[in-house]
Structure 1
Amino acid sequence: MGDGTDNAKRALRADLRERRQAMSQSAREAAADSLRRNLDALVDRFSARTISCFLSTPIEPGTRRFVTDAVGRGIRVLLPVTRADGLLDWAVADPEGEIAEGLFGQPEPVGELLGPIALDEADLLLIPAAAVDRTGMRLGWGRGFFDKTLGSMNHCPPVYAVVYDSEVLDIVPRDAHDEPVTGAVTPTQIIEFERSAR
């Protein structure tokens, strides 16, 4: 990674994190309600029976109610569990299951772990992002878990980044290892990216 790209990513992530932290609780709750409706619509669009999603932190776009409701609708939801080797294991969401702090402070399920190959069964992937640009490039938080996961899949289903509306940007800094996404889901819209390689 070139120093210029590295510095640009670091600065943009810091700005985006600061904006998220500045959001009021009421704004976060309203965004989570709207986001849930769009996530439900996307699942229905793909007739997805198995999906991946993530358990949001307090400052991320809220996914927890969506996950609980999806499980209640009979959808199998795979939640990521970080590993020290940079890959992701997966666990099936259980609203009654225990949640603990993962390697980097992300909430993760506790219980039976499925290996990285479990994702091959998914019809739709909903992944976290710091931002996404209008060409479908995703800016993650710098640890590479999802880029490695997407880059290693032989048959990748549609992949949507979950972000706030203000995090859909004209362009984000990118490197050769960064993986594009099919689209983005925000509290107000579902966006498809024409140039995405997925």
Structure 2
Amino acid sequence: MEEKKRLRQEGLQLLREIPPTEKLRIEHQLASFLFSSAVWKHANTIGLTMALPHEWDTTRIIQQAWLEKKNVCVPLTLENRGMQFYYVESYNQLTDGAFQIKEPVPDRCTPAFKEDIDLLLVPGLLFDKAGYRIGYGGGYYDRYIADYRHTTIAIASSQQFRQSLPAGPYDRRVGHLLTDDGFIDLTE
């Protein structure tokens, strides 16, 4: 547990120290790789979390999805450390939620069922070659993807990639990792 806590701090520091111009360059590269990937092209419904300022911006992904007439859904965190995704068609359907993350307003949105989300972007701070990640420690995404049957992908800079990370019995792997160096299929 202490090792994960240390790695979590390392990942946060790494993201916060990326200069703004470098961050924009990496975001552009990540978006370019994502939008040209087969997983993106085959997905009709994209699930993702609204990014915090130090994370990779997800608004470009949302804008592109809307432009391509894809459905976008964003999670609302629940008291049991679960998540319920909701379709969003406008930023007006979002409000400040838990952990200062923009979340959907349920009265303004339609719930999205897990089986209808084709591509789920899983956030994190550090990632490894087996598809494990170090997140913020709440376990929200690990719980959600435990029985998720479609495509999962994590988007990260190559600086966030490690050969291996500690993984416990409740940690869940992502199927793909997209870095500024390219696309890595972890399902093989």
1: CA distance, partners of 2:96 / 2:38: 27
Match in the other structure for 1:65: 60
SS at match of 2:72: strand
Work out whether 1:48 is the aligned partner of 2:43: yes
SS at match of 2:63: helix
Match in the other structure for 1:84: 79
Match in the other structure for 1:126: 121
Aligned match for 2:95, one of 95, 100, 112: 100
Give the AA of the match of 2:186: F
1:162-197 CA-to-partner distances (Å, cap 9, x unmatched) read 2221111101111100001111112331111156xx
Does structure 1 retain, via aligned residues, the 8 Å contact 2:31–2:60? yes
Cα displacement (A) at 1:98: 4.1
Residues 45 and 61 (structure 1), Cα distance of their counterparts in 2 relative to 1, 3 Å cut: closer
Residues 188 and 101 (structure 1), Cα distance of their counterparts in 2 relative to 1, 3 Å cut: farther
Count of aligned positions: 186
Cα displacement (A) at 1:45: 5.5
Does structure 1 retain, via aligned residues, the 8 Å contact 2:34–2:40? no
1:67-122 CA-to-partner distances (Å, cap 9, x unmatched) read 1121121001111111111111112132442432221222223332516xx12102
Deviates more, 1:126-135 or 1:105-114: 105-114
SS at match of 2:9: helix
Match in the other structure for 2:139: 144
Aligned match for 1:114, one of 111, 114, 129: 111
- The answer for unaligned runs of 5 or more in structure 1 is 1-5
Match in the other structure for 2:176: 183
TM-score normalised over the length of structure 2 = 0.90
Give the AA of the match of 1:49: N
SS at match of 2:80: coil
Does structure 1 retain, via aligned residues, the 8 Å contact 2:88–2:109? no
1: CA distance, partners of 2:139 / 2:40: 29
TM-score normalised over the length of structure 1 = 0.86
Deviates more, 1:11-20 or 1:91-100: 91-100
Deviates more, 1:131-140 or 1:11-20: 131-140
1: CA distance, partners of 2:130 / 2:92: 38
Deviates more, 1:101-110 or 1:182-191: 101-110
Cα displacement (A) at 1:138: 2.0
